[in-house]
């Protein structure tokens, strides 16, 4: 029990409340694989450097394999008295192999051990989330390609602004999520250093080889400073900040799905797989998955600010405050992975109502800018004058209750007699989007180029 781990200088044991506030096993048992991998690497290194016999090393490896098998078979007995995963694994190992197990903790502390386990877990999580983001990006790019020329209204202030295409709109999210993926890759590259061998805080008097353990656990190098190695949690903060930002992107996309699925918008119908019914209103098809993805960003942002505040003002080196890092990180990663999976499902199933989108694209005098641009191009009008002329034309159409392409030429000529019938060429929403050929613009040709370029990056 814990007495045999650290109880040498204590008379009485801890109170029940002390055990309850101190125990982290309910949360950190998720680190069992990493803990066992770290212990095996440590034992091999100790033996390679004459600190442990080869027989002890072999016994430790075999014993740890058995502990892992017991945990995976659900046969491990979890007990708050043993505080955390590190003490549980070590305690069971000592029950199984005795003295050799008691030698494992030579030249090591739980402080470098937990930092190592947590980095290994975080690294694997970063790799899984990278794959999840890639799957979502693949879904987005596939739909963007399919709907490269599907016209819909583009908004500013959520007021109809100019026609865009659904493909262009989806590619905007691909760009955002592509940057999120790059941010997580940066985080992974920076965090992949080994704390193991920093021991409690100062290093150790044993002739250990930190480069060996770093390499065998897949780290790029050992961390350079033992105090930093056991104190740093910026790798977790960085990942949480990245998840909060990515969560904002998922939340904005989710919000648009909610909006587009409303009856007044009618841009899309949610698939049966990603909507739910109402227990009282039989007609309902609710966008619960999108709403929950929209909400989950609160958890990511909360995890980030929560851990930031735990870490703020902590003196070097380890303090027990830091034990509260893992719950937030585990939860944020779980939420993020689930959000990615739900969003990928919703995008895969996307069923847009192309007619409704196109009709809406023509509303709100959305091609007004095209009239102004025509006046500049054809009549050589300064843009500010063209803006004014167009405003007057919009006013007439508004008063008559018709769209710009329904307005008689005579009405436009009252505003400026030089306007001729060729202006009608730019008044359709299709003409409007096709003309937006500038790099990064919404013309279907540009969208298809953007899709191709993004696909290249996804390879």
Task: Report in angstroms how near the CB of residue 78 gets to ligand ARG at its nearest.
Answer: 14
Side-chain half-sphere CA neighbours of 380 within 13 A? 0
Which of 398, 416, 357 lies closest to 407 in space, CA to CA?
398
> Least CB distance from residue 89 to ligand ARG, whole Å?
12
- Cβ(454)–Cβ(138) below 8 Å: no
State which residue, 85 or 133, has the beta carbon closest to ligand ARG.
85
Catalytic residue among 44, 194, 275, 278: 278
Q: Which two tokens stand for residue 239?
A: 């990942």
Q: How many CB atoms lie within 10 A of CB 180?
A: 23
Q: Tell me if residue 422 is catalytic.
A: no
Supply the DSSP string of 337-355, one letter for each residue: HHHHHHHHHHHHT--B-HH
How far CA 77 is from CA of 31, 67, 381, in Å, comes to 16, 11, 82
- In SS3 terms, 70-129 reads as HHHCCCCCCCHHHCCHHHHHHHHHHHHHCHHHHCCCCCCCHHHHHHHHHHHHHHHHHHHH
Please provide residue 168's backbone torsions phi and psi, each rounded to the nearest 5 degrees. Answer: -65, -40
Nearer to ligand ARG (CB atom), residue 169 or residue 233: 233
Task: Report CA Rg, the chain.
Answer: 31
Task: Identify how many contiguous H helices and E strands the chain contains and give both numbers.
Answer: 20, 4
> Given the complex with ligand ARG, which of 83 and 149 has the nearer CB atom?
83
Say how many Å lie between the first and final Cα of the chain, rounded.
52
Q: Nearest approach, Cβ of 83 to ligand ARG (angstroms)?
A: 6
Q: Are 321 and 314 in contact (CB under 8 A)?
A: yes
Q: What's the rounded Cα separation, in Å, for the pair 143 and 455?
A: 12
Q: How far is CA 336 from the centre of its chain?
A: 5
Catalytic residue among 15, 157, 205, 279: 157
Least CB distance to ligand ARG at residue 320 (A): 6
Tokens encoding 256: 């648009």
Q: Return the number of the residue (136 or 199) whose C-beta is nearest ligand ARG.
A: 199
> Nearer to ligand ARG by C-beta: 199 or 397?
199
Q: Which is nearer to ligand ARG, 117 or 149 (CB)?
A: 117
Determine which helix (DSSP H) or strand (DSSP E) holds 156, and give its type and residue range. strand 151-156
Burial category of 224 from C-beta neighbours within 10 Å (exposed 0-12, middle 13-18, buried 19 and up): exposed
Catalytic, 278? Answer yes
Which residue lies nearer to ligand ARG by CB, 67 or 389?
Answer: 67
Q: How far is the CB of 225 from ligand ARG (least distance, A)?
A: 18
* Residues contributing to the site for ligand ARG (CB under 6 A): 24, 28, 84, 110-111, 114, 318, 320, 322-323
Contact 122, 34 (CB under 8 A): no
Closer to ligand ARG by Cβ: residue 239 or 258 = 239
| CB nearer to ligand ARG: pick between 111 and 192 | 111
Concatenate the DSSP letters of all residues of 161-203 into one string.
EEEEEHHHHHHHHHHHHHHHHHHHHHHHHHH-EE-TT-TTTT-
Query: In degrees to the nearest 10, what's the CA dihedral of 178, 179, 181, 184?
Result: 180
Residue numbers annotated as active site:
157, 278
């Amino acid at each position: 029990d814990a007495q045999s781990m650290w109880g040498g200088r204590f008379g009485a044991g801890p109170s029940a409340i002390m055990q309850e506030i101190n125990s982290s096993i309910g949360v950190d048992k998720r680190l069992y694989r990493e803990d066992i991998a770290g212990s095996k690497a440590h034992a091999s290194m100790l033996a390679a450097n004459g600190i442990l016999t080869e027989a002890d090393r072999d016994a430790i490896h075999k014993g740890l394999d058995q502990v892992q098998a017991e945990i995976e078979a659900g046969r491990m007995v979890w007990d708050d008295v043993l505080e955390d995963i590190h003490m549980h694994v070590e305690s069971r190992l000592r029950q199984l192999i005795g003295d050799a197990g008691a030698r494992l903790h030579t030249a090591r502390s739980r402080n470098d051990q937990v930092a190592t386990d947590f980095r290994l877990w975080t690294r694997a999580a970063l790799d899984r989330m990278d794959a999840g983001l890639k799957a979502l990006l693949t879904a987005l790019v596939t739909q963007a390609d399919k709907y490269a020329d599907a016209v819909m209204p583009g908004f500013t202030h959520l007021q109809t602004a100019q026609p865009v295409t659904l493909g262009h709109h989806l590619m905007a999210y691909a760009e955002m999520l592509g940057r999120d993926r790059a941010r997580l890759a940066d985080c992974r590259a920076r965090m992949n250093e080994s704390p193991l061998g920093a021991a409690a805080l100062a290093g150790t008097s044993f002739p250990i080889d930190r480069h060996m353990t770093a390499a065998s656990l897949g780290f790029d190098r050992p961390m350079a400073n033992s105090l930093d190695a056991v104190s740093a949690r910026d790798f977790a903060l960085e990942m949480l900040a990245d998840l909060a930002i990515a969560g904002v992107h998922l939340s904005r996309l989710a919000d648009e799905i909610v909006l587009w699925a409303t009856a007044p918008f009618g841009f899309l119908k949610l698939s049966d797989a990603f909507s739910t019914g109402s227990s009282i209103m039989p007609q309902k098809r609710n966008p619960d998955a999108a709403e929950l993805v929209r909400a989950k960003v609160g958890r990511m942002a909360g995890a980030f600010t929560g851990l930031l505040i735990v870490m703020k003002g902590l003196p070097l080196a380890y303090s027990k405050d830091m034990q509260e890092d893992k719950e937030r990180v585990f939860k944020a990663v779980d939420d993020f992975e689930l959000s990615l999976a739900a969003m990928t499902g919703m995008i895969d199933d996307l069923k847009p109502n192309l007619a409704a989108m196109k009709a809406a694209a023509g509303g709100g005098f959305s091609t007004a800018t095209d009239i102004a641009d025509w006046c500049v191009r054809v009549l050589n009008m300064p843009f500010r004058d063209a803006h004014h002329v167009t405003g007057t034309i919009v006013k007439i159409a508004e008063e008559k209750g018709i769209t710009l392409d329904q307005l008689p030429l005579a009405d436009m000529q009252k505003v400026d007699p030089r306007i001729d019938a060729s202006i009608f060429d730019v008044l359709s929403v299709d003409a409007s989007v096709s003309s937006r050929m500038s790099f990064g613009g919404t013309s279907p040709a540009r969208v298809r180029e953007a899709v191709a370029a993004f696909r290249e990056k996804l390879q």
